Every structure is written in C-alpha cells, then in structure tokens.
Amino acid sequence: MSKITVILAEDHEVVREGLRALLKAESDIEIVGEVKTGREAVKMAIKLQPNVVVMDIAMPQLNGLEATRQILRDTDSTKIVILSTYNDEDYVEQSTNAGAIAYLIKQSAASDVIRAIREAKEGNSYFSPSIARRMLDHCRRAFLEGKAPSKTADDLTSRERETLQLIAEGMTNKAIADELSISIKTVEKHRQQVMNKLNIHDIAGLTRYAMARGFIESNPAIVAES
C-alpha cells in the first residue's frame, strides 16, 4: 500500500520537530518536505504534489490561508490540514472558505493529528473535537432560528492579501516588489486598493488588521515602528 505523502508547513522549529517525530512513527505516512514560510509551502506543494500539507496559519511572507488557496488552485489532489493555535470560529471559517479540509488546534491529541491526515487523504473533513462541537451547536442554533450559517467574504484579491501581509511585516514598497516580482507602481496600486477596500489608511491599522485576521503573529514592535 502506498504511503500518505505529507509536507509540514510550520515556522516554529520545536512544533515542526514534534510533528516530524510523531508522523515518522506511523508506517503509512511519509514526510516528503518541510518548510518555514507559506511561499515555500506553495512552491514545494506544486513541485511534489503531496497527498496532504499540514499547514500553520500565521507564517512569514505568506500566511497559511493564502498559501492554502494557492496550493489548491495549482495542485490536483493535495488536501490541506490546518494546525493552528487559533481556536475560534472565525479562523475555522476562514480556513474552510480557503479550501482546507481539516482544522486542528495545536493542543490536539497526537491521535487526532494522525487521524486528520488519514481522513484528509481520503477526502474526508476532520476537526478537533472541541471545534466540531461548536460548529454543530452553531449550525443547530442557526437552523432553529431559521437562519443560514453565516459566511464571511474577503473582498481582497489574492495579490492584495499577499501585499497586505508584507506591508504588515514591515516591508518597503521596493522590497514587496522584489518579493512578488512586480513593479513598485503595481505595489503602490495594490496598497491603495487594500486601504480603500478595508477603509484603513495607515500602516499601523493595516498591521492590526493583519494580526486580527491571523495573517501574521502579534508583534507589538511592528505596530510601534509603524
């Protein structure tokens, strides 16, 4: 029987080492790559076409949500399992809207992580038990109240989300242009569109928004410098 091929996308080395040790003990799972940024995750996933990518949300250069969108757009059968510190409904909803098939919190039992990977390989959804219960309760309440479960829509394009994250990480227009292989003029256009769509017109505000959405991890120094 062929093994389940997995890429680990996690910028915290200790967490990645723990995942590696956990999965190497499973005879039906093979780790084919490890990356520290969302952009590396996209490149490696497109190249290797793994069965599953275990993805953190808050990662440098490109967050896990946008990386998920890009991987699913450019691969045939790769499935995304989100493994995150965030456990509220908004992040779960953002992840499923991006196309993730499973969502686990980092405090999950080892058996849940392994099961999520196996279920994802088969095309089945899987959520941490605590999250699954909240989702069920939410849907039940919505049904009893005669309302459809709410969905959030992000008006930003893929490129605008990338630009927003890099702005929040403190990069200059020139650095963003180099990172995305576009002109400075195009970066300026994306920056203005982001500000107009979000109605946020300062860097500190954009940074706070990016933190709140999980695009980057909380970093008071960035806000102070902005």
List, for residues 61-101, the tens digit of each pLDDT value: 899 999 999 999 999 899 999 999 888 888 888 898 899 99
The continuous run of DSSP H or E covering 79 comes out as: strand 79-84
**CATH number for the domain formed by residue range(s) 4-142:** 3.40.50.2300
**CATH number for the domain formed by residue range(s) 158-225:** 1.10.10.10
Read off the pLDDT of residues 165-177 as tens digits, 9 standing for 90 and up.
999 888 999 999 9
Domain boundaries along the sequence of the chain: 4-142, 158-225
Read off the pLDDT of residues 22-69 as tens digits, 9 standing for 90 and up.
999 999 999 999 999 999 999 999 999 999 999 999 999 899 999 999
pLDDT at 226: 40
- pLDDT bracket for residue 213 (50, 70, 90): confident
φ, ψ of residue 7 to 5 degrees: the values are -110, 135
Read off the pLDDT of residues 127-157 as tens digits, 9 standing for 90 and up.
987 776 665 555 555 555 665 544 444 688 8
Gap between the Cα atoms of 22 and 103, Å rounded:
18
By C-alpha distance, which of 79, 84, 78, 131 is closest to 101? 79
Residue type, 169: E
The sign of the torsion formed by the CA atoms of 54, 60, 65, 68 equals negative
Instruction: Work out the percent of the chain whose per-residue pLDDT is above 70.
Output: 85
The continuous run of DSSP H or E covering 105 comes out as: strand 102-105
In this structure, what token pair is assigned to residue 158?
């893929």
In this structure, what token pair is assigned to residue 173?
């227009």
225 pLDDT exceeds 70? no
